[in-house]
Amino acid sequence: MLAEQLRVRGPGHRDTLIARSNVARWLGLAGDPAAAAAATRAVLADQTRILGPGHADTLTSCHNLIDWTGQTGDAAGAASAARDLLGDQLRILGADDPVTLATRGALAHWTGTAGDPAGAAVIAERVLADRVRVCGPDHPDTLSSRQSLAHWTGRAGNPGAAAAALRELLADRLRVLGPDHPDVATTRYNLAHWLGAAADPADAGTVLAEQLRVLGPDRPRIFTILANVATSRADAGDLTGAITALAELLPRMTEVLGAGHADTVTTGHNLAYLRRKAGAAAAGEQQ
């Protein structure tokens, strides 16, 4: 496709630049964000020169470059690029343009990923307020912004508030999207995670039980959250319950994920640690 565009239309034609942008995107989706970032930088330079810095295609490539930069491991660089792009978008597109709002969401994401979850939560809260005003409370982008805010609230050290926000979001996503939508599953997973982090493993287990009913017991992500919830039972004082839950879970993880999978290995280590802890506690009681 790209070779044909180059032959027929030439390297400076907009359709050729779009084809190059698509190739860059496909490189990233194929698992090579470094190559995608390099290809996006190259086409961005030509778009800026030929189309101008304020052209919609140029701004789209700037936005794509933020994600590919972050996915290469440079979250701080991605956050910095998002700030730079946001200034241009506010000037050219306006604060309420969907592309501008998307960049603000990306700024929250990469700010948090770079190690500032409290700062990310502040940005996400402002984005959510504007999403509600511009798009309405039930728009998918508004619901996604609520998910983002809950995530960074939890990462900033307030798992209880994150769980409360996600419980409300789950009800609204069920109402708007229906029980089988993948975003509903994501919200349940995250709600269970933050309930466990807030030392409420019983409630987390109830949420996961519903997800197990909908999706089945052998989804990899289910295993990760089940393990986290089980471990949180120990933090809440139920050491025996945590050991029992992990002992039941580990064989299933080994069968489905494999013995060498990182989550399986971590669960095995956590189980061994809790068993040693229980043994030490029992020995202390006998003295």
Nearest Cα to Cα of residue 262 among 253, 251, 271, 273: 253
Q: Which of 135-139, 178-182, 249-253 has the highest mean pLDDT?
A: 135-139
Helix (H) or strand (E) holding 271: helix 262-286
Q: Which of 48-57, 109-118, 266-275, 277-286 has the highest mean pLDDT?
A: 109-118
For residue 221, give every residue at least 6 positions away whose Cβ sits within 8 Å of its Cβ, in sequence order, or none: 189
Average predicted confidence (pLDDT) for the chain: 88
Structure tokens at 87: 């200034």
Structure tokens at 107: 């700024």
CA dist 65 and 80 (Å) reads 12
Residue 111 zone, left/alpha/beta (φ > 0; ψ -120 to 50; rest): alpha
Distances (CA, A) of 136 to 26, 128, 269: 32, 10, 46
Predicted local confidence at residue 1, as pLDDT: 58
DSSP 13: S
Summarize pLDDT for 222-258 with one digit per residue, the tens: 787 778 777 777 766 788 888 998 999 899 899 888 9
CA dist 261 and 269 (Å) reads 12
C-beta pairs of 114-123 under 8 Å, 24+ apart in sequence: 114/75, 114/76, 114/78, 114/79, 115/75, 117/152, 117/155, 117/156, 117/157, 118/152, 118/156, 118/157, 120/152, 120/155, 120/156, 121/149, 121/152, 121/153, 121/155, 121/156
Does the pLDDT at position 119 exceed 70?
Answer: yes
Neighbours of 214 (CB within 10 A): 12
Neighbours of 238 (CB within 10 A): 16
Predicted local confidence at residue 285, as pLDDT: 66
pTM: 0.75
Neighbours of 218 (CB within 10 A): 13
Structure tokens at 191: 């709600």
